[in-house]
Structure 1
């Protein structure tokens, strides 16, 4: 009886803790910008103080409410757009308020007194953050720039020299309807004349029923040697198997811990894919590189699709020639990439690991959550494979 009572108490206690964190994080993110833009420059008095304080209080209420309505049981797309956008804007203002605080200390050392010092900082933070928010929205919603990178591959046969592998990843089709954007991305991909097309995960946020119209244009991608898709972590927040089945239905080959061997002019190239680590919670899912490579020609170089860069450890140990990943978004909104770097070995670009393994980490083709990209532009990547010399 006492054990049941304890279990009953633990449930509400956990709920209280989670609710407190749900409100504490926005409180911290709102507090510093409020002080930088409202509290300090107004010296806590006057109509600007009360108007600014009311505005920040409204935002503090709106953020958790819209996030709960958008991402909780109701799954309201309108609320998700509001909450996600507000979160991104808040992060920009918080980040620059931190820099403004540092600048304020510099002005104080230089002999600038308050309230002039606080007003100079407030104007600077407001101007810079506002410009970056507008620019960030434009960057996030534009069709990504094409980034072409030559990658030397150990053991690549001459028949595959110059092979063009086009990568899209982290499209995150979600509450904001980006059907037209999806169609334009496909047009850009096809213009690159890919031999192979890859989607490295985080295809969409939400169910197949709600999001498939935005995904379906991918069925028009043209790649004569194959179109390959793997799951990212966000598929496992929803219907991963549903998305695997849907991608197969529009002509993409899911690589669910499996590989395909491509042959050209007597040379071979293995294209393999593994699940995201979050898949372990779903029966039959989770990364399994040995299974993915079972039966592959040990003399053929392996190109591996693995959503998270940190999966490179196993890939290098297995002798994979090239791993292609996404997940990081390049940080998406500066300076978030510093936090990403705590979890991932690479944030973006081509890097070397182990004796002969390369990793290419894409900054992503779309965006997650906040429709902003600040100092982390999206990309459609063309990897041109070359035989490694020496």
Structure 2
């Protein structure tokens, strides 16, 4: 007869080392990633048959070694306990540069080299040098273009969305969405003011900010956030927290937004009425609030909808798109989110999709009526680059099926 308790004990003991080894590997990822980001471009550009003169090899290797050692040190000084903005700028810029170099070193180092080999272009050294100059040229172009895209005032993305339960009196309601402004080490007070000026040209009924206002405390980034107080809306300005608020005194940001005249929708709702019809505008704290330890901060959809008529249409603000599973289960009509940045620097969007159900734009979720709009964000986080992921200010025009002028599908988009 087998002693099952002994077997279970043995199995349990055998599982512990496997979990421990996995945890050790995960712990080493922050150490492995910088090595790959700098070592791969170094190898492709300098050591794959180019036969550069010795001074070029030494200088190139020294530059990559500086990046490998300097990037994590600068990021630790900038984003760690010391919170030094200059160090953060250096570290973030090196991170974005290394990612772009890594991406194009891998792509061109394989695809272009293969194409040149198949076409029998030159000798191996000629092909290696063509790849090197191509990687450097494309990377420089992406860095320059990406920096310009990140620092510009976002284009306006206009979208008409039909909500089946929206009353005719609310047809044409203009909702402006900004999100992920990420005021941070680079002083963007002037950029912030210009963004708010553009928002004010859109004649919004409702303006929403779905979180990640800044990287840093409200006291530290107050000057950059202050222009948000100039935003105009005929009905309301509403705000919910993002995950980055919970890295930097979330309650301070809630208080500042309240002071600037915005309505923090912390697991609560307000009613927007027009033409005899009503829209429930609800908001929840970010999902990371649950583990923040801050009293009263958590993502609580039932609390946000408490007291609302279940027959009324609901517009929900939730920072992360993945909250849409809960929204769909509750029959929410439209959820507005940010968080993804559209990937920010291509092809990082593939990693974002591992964590989120949507990257950008309008999508349908669940077996009910729930729509999700995911913004690519208004600002940028960390590296001051946006590559194939342009920022946006979003104007959503809500349409009712109960008016003869409403579009048949209710979903059209344009950018300006």
Q: Which TM-score tier does this pair reach, normalised by the shorter chain? A: over 0.9
Choose from 177, 180, 191 the match for 2:187.
177
1:299 and 2:311 aligned: yes
In structure 2, C-alpha distance between the alignment counterparts of 1:244 and 1:85, rounded to whole Å: 29
Residue equivalent to 1:225: 235
1:43 and 2:56 aligned: no
| Contact 2:168/2:401, CA 8 A, preserved across alignment | no
After superposition, the C-alpha distances for 1:91-111 in whole angstroms (9 at most, x for unaligned) are 011000110122223333443
- Answer with 177-186 or 108-117: which moved more: 108-117
Residue pairs, 1:48-87, within 5 angstroms = 48-87=56-95
In structure 1, C-alpha distance between the alignment counterparts of 2:252 and 2:311, rounded to whole Å: 35
After superposition, the C-alpha distances for 1:190-220 in whole angstroms (9 at most, x for unaligned) are 0000000000110111011110110011011
| Contact 1:22/1:64, CA 8 A, preserved across alignment | no
Q: Unaligned 5+ residue runs, structure 2? A: 1-20, 403-407, 409-416
Q: Alpha-carbon deviation of 1:154?
A: 1.6
TM-score (norm 2): 0.88
In structure 2, C-alpha distance between the alignment counterparts of 1:167 and 1:41, rounded to whole Å: 51
- Answer with 20-29 or 88-97: which moved more: 20-29
TM-score (norm 1): 0.93
| Contact 1:36/1:100, CA 8 A, preserved across alignment | no
Q: Alpha-carbon deviation of 1:36?
A: 1.4
Choose from 96, 106, 114 the match for 2:115.
106
Residue equivalent to 1:201: 211
After superposition, the C-alpha distances for 1:315-352 in whole angstroms (9 at most, x for unaligned) are 01111110000000000000001111111111000111
Q: Flag the 1:17–1:316 CA change in 2: closer, same or farther, 3 A.
A: closer
Report SS of the residue matched to 2:198: helix
Choose from 308, 327, 334 the match for 1:315.
327
Residue equivalent to 1:332: 344
In structure 2, C-alpha distance between the alignment counterparts of 1:65 and 1:161, rounded to whole Å: 53
Provide the alpha-carbon RMSD of the alignment. 1.9
Which runs of at least 4 in structure 1 moved beyond 4 Å after TM superposition? 16-21
Q: Unaligned 5+ residue runs, structure 1? A: 1-12
After superposition, the C-alpha distances for 1:114-157 in whole angstroms (9 at most, x for unaligned) are 11111111111110110010000000000000010001112111
| Contact 2:364/2:371, CA 8 A, preserved across alignment | yes
After superposition, the C-alpha distances for 1:28-59 in whole angstroms (9 at most, x for unaligned) are 11011101112225337522111111111111
In structure 1, C-alpha distance between the alignment counterparts of 2:51 and 2:27, rounded to whole Å: 32
1:344 and 2:368 aligned: no
Number of paired residues?
Answer: 378
In structure 2, C-alpha distance between the alignment counterparts of 1:43 and 1:153, rounded to whole Å: 63
Q: Alpha-carbon deviation of 1:22?
A: 3.7
In structure 2, C-alpha distance between the alignment counterparts of 1:20 and 1:356, rounded to whole Å: 43
In structure 2, C-alpha distance between the alignment counterparts of 1:39 and 1:337, rounded to whole Å: 30
| Contact 2:50/2:126, CA 8 A, preserved across alignment | no
